[in-house]
Chain A
Amino acid sequence: MSRLRLLAGPDLGSGPEGFADHTRRLGAPAVSGRALIESLVRSGLTGRGGASFPVGQKWRAVAASKGSRVVVANGAEGEPQSHKDRLLMATRPHLVLDGAFAAARTLRASQVVVYVGEEHGTAWNAMAQALAERPEAERRIGRMTGAPHRYVAGESSAAVHLIDAGVATPTTTPPHPRERGIAGAPTLVQNVETLANIALIARYGDEWFRSAGRRGGVGTVLITLAGAVKHPGVLEVEAGTTIEEVVTIAGGISEAASAVLLGGYFGSWVPAAQAWELPLDGPTLRSNGLNLGCGVIGVLPASRCGVCDTSRIMRYLAEESSAQCGPCFFGLRALSDACSRIAERGTNRDDIARLKKWSVEVPGRGACKHPDGAVMFLRSALSTFADQFASHPAHWRQQPA
């Protein structure tokens, strides 16, 4: 069921909701401090940036650290198919800022940095304008920073590295940003959708949050639907809604589908028949070895070749390596080359063997999770499109993207 919470309010096409309207519609947040942290723990809210980490636990860890803290609102949205963060920032900037400044007050942060993709012009303007509308105490500690347009720029340690030292490359962890981040201070990096949820929990409480959700999921999630659906775009649905239900809300599929890519480029391919009944809830999917990720659902029509699409995405992921770690840079390139050879020249035993070998050797040997995400994506493709990989004919022209 579509349950609007984050996206409730004025029509999404009418631009950002201003501070006055926002305050009139929703009132002021009621809970803060220790009580808010405990409320977040009880709510079961998990991060919406891709890792689905329990938010309350994360806040407890930062609260336990010493020294002045920093809050980063992560709206980089480097995942190409995802639009939810920029839509949220462009239409409900004050929800995001409410969450960010609630975090700042609760964790006694001295700074709030709003990290927005440089190429997301509308979202940037909306957030900057909203920041200017905030009370003076908040305006004094808040500022905007642009995220370079690369896939890894949205990764937590890369975001902190950019803000701290001016270079958006991931860094070796430990130490994690929550232990030592910007200027050495414990830093909370939280996705903008997560912060918007926190803004509402601070007003209505954890029980209210848990009142939405099905099949064990809690709250609502923002989903970006792409591919062979009649009305692609961003939807807000209850956590635990199945993929089939979401696709129905979007008008149904536009042609017969063979598979679904769940979770974006770091997600997994699932055969369509199995995909329809999957519930869109981070923890539930995780226990099935899948991943809600940033909430992108790509429906692959049967008319497109899964091998060719996999090859295209692997090429992208290989080129987005920050080239700091050999196994990631060379491993993903080699895997991508093998995929391309299979896609363009037809299947062969050697390349299949290479894919299998390197899929085992590459994960876990980079400083960040980029190679792990890419290999997990590839392995899901090898499993879902097993027949196609085994018998792919040569076609010299790649399908258009």
Chain B
Amino acid sequence: MKTELHMTIDRIKCDGHGLCAELLPEMIRLDDWGYPIIAPGPVPGRLASHAQRAVAACPTLALALRRTAPSK
């Protein structure tokens, strides 16, 4: 069964370092105050490794990737 990869963020842990937007600009951009705006929806397969790198690079471990069954 094909699963989907979703990026989640803990908004309290996030301190606006901004490395995620540097490493995954296709899905993450920073707002006017340096905090991430994450594009909704699953992470496309071709970006999975970049997403993993962005998650690992977060200095506060605010990002996470979850595998879920596809939503209808």
Residues of A within 8 A of B (CB): 171-172, 324-327, 330-331, 334, 358, 361, 365-367
A361 — which chain B residues lie within 8 A by C-beta?
Answer: 31, 37
List the B residue with the shortest CB-CB distance to A169. Answer: B12
Q: Binary interface profile of B, 12-48, with partner A (CB < 8 Å = 1, else 0)? A: 1111100000000000000111110100000000000
B11 near A367: Cβ-Cβ < 8 Å: yes
Chain A proximity of B51: nearest CB distance (Å): 19
A366 — which chain B residues lie within 8 A by C-beta?
Answer: 11
A367 near B12: Cβ-Cβ < 8 Å: yes
A171 near B12: Cβ-Cβ < 8 Å: yes
B11 — which chain A residues lie within 8 A by C-beta?
Answer: 172, 324-325, 327, 365-367
Q: Chain B: interface secondary structure? A: loop
List the A residue with the shortest CB-CB distance to B38. Answer: A365
List the A residue with the shortest CB-CB distance to B37. Answer: A361
B12 — which chain A residues lie within 8 A by C-beta?
Answer: 171-172, 324-325, 367
A331 near B10: Cβ-Cβ < 8 Å: no
B14 near A326: Cβ-Cβ < 8 Å: yes
Contacts across chains A and B counted by CB atoms under 8 Å? 40
Chain A proximity of B45: nearest CB distance (Å): 25
B10 — which chain A residues lie within 8 A by C-beta?
Answer: 172, 367
Chain A proximity of B8: nearest CB distance (Å): 10
List the B residue with the shortest CB-CB distance to A334. Answer: B32
- Given A172-B11, A172-B12, A367-B12, verify A326-B32 contact (CB < 8 Å): no
B side interface size, CB within 8 A: 13
Kindly state the separation between the CA atoms of A142 and B31 in the bound complex, as whole angstroms.
46
- Given A361-B37, A365-B37, verify A325-B14 contact (CB < 8 Å): yes
Kindly state the separation between the CA atoms of A366 and B13 in the bound complex, as whole angstroms.
11
B13 — which chain A residues lie within 8 A by C-beta?
Answer: 172
A171 — which chain B residues lie within 8 A by C-beta?
Answer: 12
Chain A proximity of B65: nearest CB distance (Å): 16
Chain A proximity of B47: nearest CB distance (Å): 21
Kindly state the separation between the CA atoms of A331 and B30 in the bound complex, as whole angstroms.
13
List the B residue with the shortest CB-CB distance to A362. Answer: B31
Kindly state the separation between the CA atoms of A365 and B38 in the bound complex, as whole angstroms.
9
Chain A proximity of B2: nearest CB distance (Å): 24
Enumerate the 7 nearest inter-chain pairs by beta-carbon distance, A residue then B residue, closest first: A326-B35, A330-B33, A325-B11, A367-B11, A324-B12, A367-B12, A326-B16
Chain A proximity of B49: nearest CB distance (Å): 26
Kindly state the separation between the CA atoms of A331 and B31 in the bound complex, as whole angstroms.
9
Kindly state the separation between the CA atoms of A326 and B11 in the bound complex, as whole angstroms.
8
Kindly state the separation between the CA atoms of A367 and B35 in the bound complex, as whole angstroms.
13
Kindly state the separation between the CA atoms of A366 and B32 in the bound complex, as whole angstroms.
15
Q: Provide 27 A-B residue pairs closer than 8 Å at the C-beta atoms, listed in order of the A residue.
A: A171-B12, A172-B10, A172-B11, A172-B12, A324-B12, A325-B11, A325-B12, A325-B14, A326-B15, A326-B16, A326-B31, A326-B33, A327-B11, A327-B31, A327-B33, A327-B35, A330-B35, A331-B31, A334-B32, A361-B31, A361-B37, A365-B11, A365-B31, A365-B35, A367-B10, A367-B11, A367-B12
Chain B proximity of A286: nearest CB distance (Å): 23
A367 — which chain B residues lie within 8 A by C-beta?
Answer: 10-12
Kindly state the separation between the CA atoms of A325 and B16 in the bound complex, as whole angstroms.
9
A330 — which chain B residues lie within 8 A by C-beta?
Answer: 32-33, 35
A172 — which chain B residues lie within 8 A by C-beta?
Answer: 10-13
User: Which of A326, A358, A365 contacts B34, CB < 8 Å?
Assistant: A326
Known contacts A325-B14, A327-B11, A330-B32; 14 additional CB pairs below 8 A are A171-B12, A172-B10, A324-B11, A324-B12, A325-B11, A326-B14, A326-B16, A326-B31, A326-B33, A330-B33, A358-B32, A361-B31, A365-B11, A365-B31
Chain B proximity of A278: nearest CB distance (Å): 32
Chain B proximity of A395: nearest CB distance (Å): 28
Q: Which of A171, A334, A367 has the most CB of B within 10 A?
A: A367
B37 — which chain A residues lie within 8 A by C-beta?
Answer: 361, 365
A324 — which chain B residues lie within 8 A by C-beta?
Answer: 11-12
List the B residue with the shortest CB-CB distance to A366. Answer: B11
Kindly state the separation between the CA atoms of A326 and B33 in the bound complex, as whole angstroms.
7
A331 near B14: Cβ-Cβ < 8 Å: no
List the A residue with the shortest CB-CB distance to B13. Answer: A172
Kindly state the separation between the CA atoms of A331 and B37 in the bound complex, as whole angstroms.
13
Kindly state the separation between the CA atoms of A325 and B13 in the bound complex, as whole angstroms.
8
